[in-house]
Amino acid sequence: MVTATFRHSGKKVLDVKIASEAASIGATPNHPFWSEDRQEFVRADELNLYERVRTLTGVSIVEQIRLRPGWHIVYNIEVKGEHVYHVGAGGVLVHNAVEDCSKYAKRMYRSKGGKVLRLRPNSKRGGVLGQLPNDDRHLLYHHDIHLRDGQVNTSNRTAMPIREWFEEYRELNNFGSLNELRRWLDITDVTPGQ
């Protein structure tokens, strides 16, 4: 459900050419694309040539990034729940949130200490993470959490004990046990400097 629409004038627009797309994707410089190389969302103006990006069918590469001449009117929508979208004919994965989970978890680590953990579906299974506790997004290929003193703190600003968080995650996604969930999930320490 669309909860808001936005129209902004006087904006710069980049034309991002992805190899699997017939046409360039027009994006504001700060619009995040999922980078397979960095395993996080990256602003359009920070993408590198030949950087791999996620699509509906796998991965593709950035072939070109050009500043579109002039100033433009841009439109944006806010959708209840989902903040990740597949755009273009090939479904390039982009993010529409103000601060994604990776940046939030790193910021929390810098200010409070603890760890940053990345949750991903096991590479043998692939797919998306499914429903997360206290979060109504479903199309996540990874999710970073800030962990400190046994509390999980996610980008939706809700802290809860780690066992309770994983138990709720298990229930939301119909895993029979926490052991079954552990076999399905890859958890990696991505704490900066580690």
Predicted confidence (pLDDT) per residue in 7-32, tens digit: 766 678 999 999 999 999 998 887 88
pTM of the model: 0.55
For the chain, list the domains and their CATH numbers: 2-95 (2.170.16.10), 101-189 (no CATH)
The yes-or-no verdict on residue 179 having pLDDT over 90 is no
Name the pLDDT band for 47 (thresholds 50, 70, 90).
very high
Secondary structure string (H, E, C) spanning the chain = CEEEEEEEEEECCEEEEECCCCCCEEECCCCEEEECCCCEEEEHHHCCCCCEEEECCEEEEEEEEEECCCCEEEEEEEECCCCEEEECCCCEEEECCCCCHHHHHHHHHHHHCCEEEEEEECCCCCCCCCCECCECCCCCCCEEEEEECCEEECCCCCEEEHHHHHHHHHHHCCCCCHHHHHHHEEEEECCCCC
Residue 36 is predicted with a pLDDT of 92
The yes-or-no verdict on residue 183 having pLDDT over 50 is yes
